[in-house]
Structure 1
Amino acid sequence: MRASLKKRLIGLLLVCFVCIVASSAPFQCFATFPNELRLFSGQGKQLQLTMPVTAKITVSNPDVLTVNGIAQHSFQVDLKEPLSLTPTQQGQTEMKLKLFGTIPLKTVKVNVVPDIKVIPGGQTIGVKIKSVGILVVGHHLVALDHDRKVSPGEDSKIQTGDIITHIDGVKSNDVSKVSDIVNQAGVGKKPLDLTIRRGEQNFHVSLTPAYDAVDKSYRLGLYIRDSAAGIGTLTFYSPQYGVYGALGHVITDMDTQTPIVVGDGQIVDSNVTSIAKSRNGEPGEKHSQILKDSRILGTIEKNTPFGIFGKMNEAPGHYLRNDPLPVAFAEEVKEGPAQIYTVLNGQTVEKFDIQIVHVTRQDYPATKGLVIKVTDPKLLEKTGGIVQGMSGSPIIQNGKVIGAVTHVFVNDPTSGYGCFIEWMLQDSGIMNKSGVGGLKAS
C-alpha cells in the first residue's frame, strides 16, 4: 500500500515538474526556436532562448552571417541575452549551439536571400479580364419547331465551365464573332470542330448548329461569355521588376464559379464614388466608376488563388507613400496591431488600423493565412468594416508589407481573411527572380 502511494506521489511530482518546465520561459523560447531560418539581406533578426547558461556558437560560413556583430567561426555567448543575427551577403550557412561548449543544443540552417522591396498600393483599380477562349456558362434549348427543342451543345457533352479555345482550328476568344461563324456553318450544313479545354485536358467536339425557328438563326445551344469586369485594390508595385499584384484572390466567372483562364486583360484607373456599408449577413461594397478614357495601368497575365498579376511599366500614382517597403516572410508575421491601405473616396489612399487576431503557419502556399479585425473608428464608421472592392488592400506591420485583405466574414464584417504577401510575390514571379525559396515542411 505504501509502495503504491509512493509511486503515485512520484508520478504526481513528475507531472508537476514537466508542467513547470513546459510553462517556463526558456522551454517556450526553445520550442519556438527555428530549425531553419530565412533572412533577407540587409534585414537582421533577433533570437532569444532566455537560458541562464553560456554556449558555444559555431557558424559554418561567417562571411554570410554575423552573430552579435562577431564574424568568427566559433565563439562563446550568454544565452540570457538575445542573439542578434546580421546577414552580410547572400548564401547559406549553419549555426550550431552547444551548451558549455560540449552539449549539442540546436542546429539552425540559415539562408540569406536578396532583399525584396515593393511600393505598397491601396489604389482602387478597374479590372478588365478576357478569357483565353470562349467560356461556356450554361445550356439553352433551340426551338426546331413548335414541339421540338434541342441543345446541340449539351447533346455533344459540352459542360458548363468548358472553354472553347478554337473553332475549326482558328483561335477564338471573341463572342461577337461566334454568331457569324455559327450561321455560316448552319447554312452550309457543316459541323463545327470545337477545341475544348476542360481543366488541364484539351479535346475536340464536332457540333452541328441547329436552326431556331423562333429567332430565325442557327444556334449552338450554349450560353457563352469571353470577359469579365469589376473593381479591386492594388496590393503592390515593384519598380525593380516592373510587375504588380492585386486582389489577393482568384477571379471566378459569376455563373460557373470557375477561375477565369487569362487570355489578356488590363487594370485601369478607377474612382470610388460611394460606399454601401457592411452589416451582419450583408457585405457592403465600394461603388466605383471606370471611365472610357481611364488610364491603363498594367496588363493582366495571371489569375491565381492569390490574385491577378502582370506588367506595370510605371507607378500608377495616388500613393500614400511612394518609397519601397521591405516585405516579410510568412513566419515573421505576428498577432497584434497592423494597418491597411485603401481608398474610401475618389482616388485618395488612406491608412487604417487593424488587428491581426490569428496567424496560420503555412509552409506551402495556401489562402486564408491571416484573420484580421478592423479597429479604426473612421473605417468602421464609413464602411462597417471590410467591403467588397477592398480585397487586395495591402497589410503593413512593423514597417513591412506582410499581406493583403482577401475576404470578409459575412456574419461579422468587421473581420475577415488575409493572405501572406510571400505567396503573392511567388505568383508574380518576383520570388523566383530573386532566388527566394520556400520553407520545407517539417
Structure 2
Amino acid sequence: MVKMKYRSILGVCIAALIITFCFSPQFRTIYGLPPHMRIIEGEIASFDVNFPLTLTIKSDLEQSIRTQSPITMSGLSRPVFLETVKLGNATMEFKLLNFIPIRTVQVDVLPAIKLLPGGNSIGVVLHSRGVIVVGNSPITIENEQQVNPAKDAGIHVGDVILSINGVQVQNDSQVAEVIDNSGRDDEILDIVLKRGEEEMNIKLKPVLCSETKRYRIGLFVRDSAAGVGTLTFHDPESHAYGALGHIITDSDTNQPIDCEQGKIVGAKVSGIQHGMRGQPGEKIGVFIEGDQLLGNIEKNTKFGIYGKLTTEIPNDLYSEPIPVASMNQIQTGSAEILTVVNGQTIERFSIEIQKVNLQESPEGKGIVIKVTDPILLEKTGGIVQGMSGSPIIQNGKLVGAVTHVFVHDPTRGYGCFIDWMLMEIGVIPKNENKIVKKMFNLSNRFTFIKGA
C-alpha cells in the first residue's frame, strides 16, 4: 500500500515536471526547430540542452557531424556545439529524461560555397509565355451597342492565352492581328489558355468594332513586364546569378509571370521617393542608355529571378567571393545590406536582424530586419521599392536578401534566407511549399497595354 502511494506521488511529480518543462523557453526553442535542417560544411551549430533534456546523435552517423569537444550524450546541462565534418546526413534526437522523445531533427551537411555579393541596380525585362489578360474592354458595335465576347465566353482577368487557332502567341500585337484576320475570314476562334495550373479550350467569335474597324474580342493583354531591382549575388566561376529574392508578378492581376524569355540590363538610380507610414517609397530607376545587356533570365521563381551573366558585374566593396551561411547560423543583432541609392554606386548600410524564423520548407518572411543606418533612413525612410534583392551580410557571410517592406513601418521588412536562393541554383535539393500569406511586392514595374 505504501509502495503504491509512493508510486502515485512519483507519477504526479514526473507529470508535473513534464508539464512544467513543456512551458519552459528551452522546450519551445527545441520544439521550434524544423524537423529537417541544412548545415553548410565547416559551420558549427549550437543548442542549449539543459536538464531534464538530453541529446543523442546516432552513432553510425557521427562521421558527418560530431561534437566539438568530448561530452557525454546524456544528462547534458550545458550548450552543445556540433561541428560538421564532411558531407552527409545525421539524426539528432532530443529526449526528456533520456527516454521520452521530444524532437527528432534530420541534418544534411551541404558543400561550402562562396559567392560574390551584389547590391547593383539592374533593369529587368521579362517576357511571359503567351499573353496575360489584364482587363476587359467592351466593344462598340453597330447601333452603339456594347458587347464583350471574351468575358461572355468565360475568359477571366489573370488568364494566360497560349495559342489561338493552333498558333502560339508571343506578344500583344500578334494576338490583335490573329483575331482581326480570323474575324475577316469569319472563323471561330479556338483559344487555349492557362488558368493557374490548368489549361483549357474556349471557343468564341470576334466582332467588328465600329470605332477601330477591326475585329476584336474585348480584352486588354500584356506580354511583358519591366522594372528596376537589385542583384543579390553571382558566382564568378559558373556566372550564375540570383536577384530580387521574390517572384515577379503582373502589376494588374498580381499573377506570377510564367517566364518565356527575359534579360537583365544596366540601370542607375536617378532619385528616391521617400517612404512613410502607409506609403512605401521607391527608387526612381532608369535603364542605362542602350540597354546594356548584363545577362539572361532563365526562370522567375518565388525566391527571385535566376540566369547567367554575359558581362562581368563589378562590386567595389567586395573584390573576392565571401562564404554563405545557412539559416541556423543567423543571429539576431547587427548586420548590413548592400544597395544603390544614387547612380550606380553600391553602398553598405547598417541594419538590425530582429527575428529569425527557422523554416523546414521554402517560404518567405524568414528574416525580420530593421534599418538602423541614419544615412539610409534620411535618404529613403527605410526599405523602398527597387531595394528587393539587396544582399544581407552578417559576420562576413551572405545570409539572405531583402524582399518586402512593412507597409505600416517602412523602417522594417522581411528578407529571405540565402538557403532558398541556393535551392534555385541547384545547391540545395528543392522542396515545394506554397506561400499563402500576402506580401507587399517591392518590384517596381513598368507596363504597356494594347487592346485586342
Count of residues in correspondence between the two structures: 422
The aligned residue for residue 68 of structure 1 is: 68
TM-score for the superposition, normalised by structure 1: 0.83
What SS does the corresponding residue of 1:60 show, helix, strand or coil? Answer: helix
Q: How does 1:57-206 map to 2 (within 5 A)?
A: 59-68=59-68, 79=76, 82-94=79-91, 109-206=106-203
Q: Letter of the aligned partner of 2:274 in structure 1?
A: K
Contact 1:55/1:99, CA 8 A, preserved across alignment: no
1-structure distance, mates of 2:44, 2:204: 63
TM-score for the superposition, normalised by structure 2: 0.81
C-alpha deviations, 1:367-386, integer Å up to 9, x for none?
Answer: 22222111011111111111
Asked if residue 45 in structure 1 is aligned to residue 42 in structure 2, the reply is no
Q: Which has the higher mean CA deviation after the structures are superposed, 128-137 or 422-431? A: 422-431
In the alignment, which of 224, 229, 234 is matched to residue 226 of structure 2?
Answer: 229
2-structure distance, mates of 1:209, 1:25: 66
Asked if residue 268 in structure 1 is aligned to residue 303 in structure 2, the reply is no
Pair 97,193 (structure 1): closer, same or farther in 2 beyond 3 Å: closer
2-structure distance, mates of 1:119, 1:288: 23
C-alpha deviations, 1:178-235, integer Å up to 9, x for none?
Answer: 3332222122111222211111111222232211112122212111110111111111
Contact 2:39/2:108, CA 8 A, preserved across alignment: yes
Pair 57,363 (structure 1): closer, same or farther in 2 beyond 3 Å: closer
What SS does the corresponding residue of 1:178 show, helix, strand or coil? Answer: helix
C-alpha deviations, 1:93-148, integer Å up to 9, x for none?
Answer: 45679999x98999765432212332221111101011100111111122111332
Contact 2:45/2:329, CA 8 A, preserved across alignment: no
1-structure distance, mates of 2:174, 2:58: 69
The alpha-carbon deviation at position 359 of structure 1 amounts to 2.3
1-structure distance, mates of 2:197, 2:147: 29
2-structure distance, mates of 1:159, 1:33: 42
The aligned residue for residue 443 of structure 2 is: none
Instruction: State, as a whole percentage, how many aligned pairs show the same letter.
Output: 42
Q: Letter of the aligned partner of 1:312 in structure 2?
A: L
Q: How does 1:309-388 map to 2 (within 5 A)?
A: 309-313=306-310, 315-388=312-385
The aligned residue for residue 281 of structure 2 is: 284
Q: Letter of the aligned partner of 2:39 in structure 1?
A: L
Contact 1:59/1:94, CA 8 A, preserved across alignment: no
Pair 186,103 (structure 1): closer, same or farther in 2 beyond 3 Å: closer
Contact 1:122/1:319, CA 8 A, preserved across alignment: no
Contact 1:191/1:208, CA 8 A, preserved across alignment: yes
In the alignment, which of 190, 213, 217 is matched to residue 214 of structure 2?
Answer: 217
Asked if residue 419 in structure 1 is aligned to residue 421 in structure 2, the reply is no
Contact 2:131/2:161, CA 8 A, preserved across alignment: yes
The alpha-carbon deviation at position 151 of structure 1 amounts to 1.4
In the alignment, which of 192, 207, 219 is matched to residue 204 of structure 2?
Answer: 207
Contact 1:241/1:430, CA 8 A, preserved across alignment: no
The alpha-carbon deviation at position 272 of structure 1 amounts to 0.9
Contact 1:59/1:96, CA 8 A, preserved across alignment: no
Contact 2:228/2:286, CA 8 A, preserved across alignment: no
Q: Letter of the aligned partner of 1:40 in structure 2?
A: I
Q: Which has the higher mean CA deviation after the structures are superposed, 321-330 or 106-115? A: 106-115
Asked if residue 405 in structure 1 is aligned to residue 390 in structure 2, the reply is no
The alpha-carbon deviation at position 295 of structure 1 amounts to 2.2
Q: Letter of the aligned partner of 2:40 in structure 1?
A: F
The alpha-carbon deviation at position 48 of structure 1 amounts to 4.4
What SS does the corresponding residue of 2:385 show, helix, strand or coil? Answer: coil
Contact 1:386/1:415, CA 8 A, preserved across alignment: yes
- Structure 2: runs of 5+ lacking an equivalent: 1-9, 434-452
Q: Letter of the aligned partner of 2:86 in structure 1?
A: Q
Pair 217,336 (structure 1): closer, same or farther in 2 beyond 3 Å: same
- Structure 1: runs of 5+ lacking an equivalent: 1-9
Pair 342,208 (structure 1): closer, same or farther in 2 beyond 3 Å: same
What SS does the corresponding residue of 1:146 show, helix, strand or coil? Answer: helix
2-structure distance, mates of 1:34, 1:207: 51
The alpha-carbon deviation at position 437 of structure 1 amounts to 7.6
Q: Letter of the aligned partner of 1:238 in structure 2?
A: D
The aligned residue for residue 239 of structure 2 is: 242
Pair 85,287 (structure 1): closer, same or farther in 2 beyond 3 Å: same
Pair 279,68 (structure 1): closer, same or farther in 2 beyond 3 Å: closer
In the alignment, which of 251, 254, 277 is matched to residue 251 of structure 2?
Answer: 254
The aligned residue for residue 450 of structure 2 is: none
The alpha-carbon deviation at position 281 of structure 1 amounts to 2.2
Contact 1:380/1:414, CA 8 A, preserved across alignment: yes
Contact 1:163/1:196, CA 8 A, preserved across alignment: yes
Q: Letter of the aligned partner of 1:170 in structure 2?
A: V
1-structure distance, mates of 2:77, 2:307: 48
Contact 1:56/1:99, CA 8 A, preserved across alignment: no
C-alpha deviations, 1:248-273, integer Å up to 9, x for none?
Answer: 22211111121111111111110111
Pair 76,187 (structure 1): closer, same or farther in 2 beyond 3 Å: closer
C-alpha deviations, 1:29-67, integer Å up to 9, x for none?
Answer: 877888765321222334443669999987424443343
C-alpha deviations, 1:156-176, integer Å up to 9, x for none?
Answer: 211111111112212111112
Contact 1:66/1:87, CA 8 A, preserved across alignment: yes
The aligned residue for residue 429 of structure 1 is: 426
Rg larger for = 1
In the alignment, which of 387, 392, 399 is matched to residue 390 of structure 1?
Answer: 387
2-structure distance, mates of 1:15, 1:65: 34
The alpha-carbon deviation at position 277 of structure 1 amounts to 1.1
The alpha-carbon deviation at position 343 of structure 1 amounts to 0.6
1-structure distance, mates of 2:267, 2:426: 26
What SS does the corresponding residue of 2:182 show, helix, strand or coil? Answer: helix
Pair 305,33 (structure 1): closer, same or farther in 2 beyond 3 Å: closer
What SS does the corresponding residue of 1:183 show, helix, strand or coil? Answer: helix
1-structure distance, mates of 2:43, 2:27: 27
1-structure distance, mates of 2:14, 2:91: 36
What SS does the corresponding residue of 2:173 show, helix, strand or coil? Answer: helix
What SS does the corresponding residue of 1:423 show, helix, strand or coil? Answer: helix
